Structure 1
Amino acid sequence: ARRIWAKEIERRYHPKNERAFLMRTHAQTAGVSLTAQQPYNNVVRVTLQALAAVLGGTQSLHTNSLDETYALPTKEAVTLALRTQQVIAHESGVADTIDPLAGSYYLEHLTDRMEDGFEASFHFQQQVDEGEKIVVGINKYATEAEPPIPTLAIDPEVERKQIARLTETRRTRDRGRWNESIDALRNAAKHGEELMPRFLECARAHASVGEQVHVLKEVFGEYHDPGYF
């Protein structure tokens, strides 16, 4: 992915600053690989996937819990998923070396294959967009109106309860602490400081995600991708 990113950045923008070629990534282990049968095997699967992500140099990582094939995970399962990351980070030693798999012939071969697959998929999509490849119902034989298919309907009562909870939180929270945390977040954003500690303090002051995002929009504005392929 980093190789593709660097090539596309060069092709589209020709940046002068080499830092523009850096790609920061978040990885999540594959929930689709988890099984309801013998669920404790999922711990091993998640560990292997997490290790692969770290070896690939991911900047942040989400490890799925072993019981997510059944329902939302329990506290114990979430803790074990977190401990998986912590053991990899502090006990395996893989995080102490930059690109520990560099130079591996097999890994470089797989990287080449993935890049070839990306380019083939991109070329196919271009052909679809330009009408060279036909996808029935998409770029040919499309109908203006189609009957809707059944979709999951969320009970409006859930939304009403959440709005009521948010309203009560805003009414009862410490207004002074809220103002201080929001101001600190705004100042940190304006001066290019680390934001995560400010986010945590905002959360402790019961500032909503929307309120925090609003502050960032004030400082940075809203991003609109100027790029195109």
Structure 2
Amino acid sequence: QMLRVHVHTAGSVLTAQQPLNNVARITWQAMSAVLAGIQSMACCAYDEAIALPTEESATLALRTQQLIAYESGVADTIDPMAGSYYVEALTDKFEKEAYEYIQKIDAMGGAVAAIEQGYMQGEMAAHAYEYQTDIEKGKRTVIGVNKFADNKAVKTNDVITADLSVAERQIARVNEMKAHRDQQAVDASLKALKEAAKGEANLMPYLIDAVKTYATLGEICGVLREVFGEYQQGGNLF
């Protein structure tokens, strides 16, 4: 009963066509999450199907949550959907189907074995293909895409654009940091991490020690990659 639930609205359903429609999509997703009794939430920005959010769109995403919390009144009742047959029936259906998945995965030898066999990836790919096919065949309606489309070009004048010089400045900062850190301490911490990774030790203390010496994320991952290899689709390690 101490379970805490966080919900992030689904960026996968946002459309580049008629992007302002996404404001409504995000709002009802957020409202649904509140009705479900979540403890924390994050909302997508309406322009995420086009580019990184602008300050304006990110602020609107925040205001969407605040409007629901402070103006809608939906949060005034602890469980506004309590007793709904439809909701309870859906919950039972989802629980049943979830356990069926768990039983399949257990039969494969667990989650790791299922991933190595490509089961998880295959299920997600199959669902994505079915979802997109339904849209293209008109079985699933997406306003502005396969229904009520206006074929107007998307306005991109307000879309955020990346300043490529940011990468150059960040590289310079990392190089400067490396030039002034204690390299012997870095090497020692990475060596200790590597040795720990070869055994059964809890790696968190070693990771913290490495970070304290200013070892970079790339260096830390490189050490772990030497021990564990790198996962490739199909379960291969190299």
TM-score, normalization by structure 1 = 0.51
Shift in Å at residue 32 of structure 1? 0.2
Shift in Å at residue 165 of structure 1? 8.8
Shift in Å at residue 60 of structure 1? 0.8
| 1:93–1:166 distance in 2 versus 1, CA, 3 Å | farther
Equivalent in 56, 77, 93 of residue 76 of structure 1: 56
What is the match of residue 104 of structure 1?
84
Equivalent in 75, 82, 93 of residue 113 of structure 1: 93
- Kindly provide the amino acid, as one letter, of the partner of residue 58 in structure 1: I
TM-score, normalization by structure 2 = 0.49
Consecutive unaligned residues in structure 1, runs of 5 or more = 1-20, 140-155, 168-209, 212-229
What is the match of residue 163 of structure 1?
174
* Aligned partner of residue 41 in structure 2, secondary structure: strand
Matched residue count: 131
What is the match of residue 138 of structure 1?
117
| 1:45–1:122 distance in 2 versus 1, CA, 3 Å | same
- CA contact 2:105–2:114 (8 Å) conserved in 1: no
What is the match of residue 124 of structure 1?
104
Q: CA RMSD in A?
A: 3.1
* Aligned partner of residue 7 in structure 2, secondary structure: strand
CA distance in structure 1 between the aligned counterparts of 2:29 and 2:176, rounded to whole angstroms: 37
Residue by residue over 1:43-82, the C-alpha shift from the partner in whole angstroms, topping out at 9 and shown as x without a partner, is 0000010001111111111000000011110011011111
Shift in Å at residue 24 of structure 1? 0.6
What is the match of residue 26 of structure 2?
46
Residue by residue over 1:149-180, the C-alpha shift from the partner in whole angstroms, topping out at 9 and shown as x without a partner, is xxxxxxx857624536989xxxxxxxxxxxxx
1:179-218 matches, within 5 Å, as: none
What is the match of residue 151 of structure 1?
none
Q: Does 1:23 align with 2:3?
A: yes
User: Which of structures 1 and 2 has the larger relative contact order (alpha carbons within 8 angstroms, sep 6+)?
Assistant: 2
Consecutive unaligned residues in structure 2, runs of 5 or more = 119-166, 179-210, 213-238
CA distance in structure 2 between the aligned counterparts of 1:93 and 1:165, rounded to whole angstroms: 52
- Kindly provide the amino acid, as one letter, of the partner of residue 68 in structure 2: I
- What's the % identity of the aligned pairs? 48
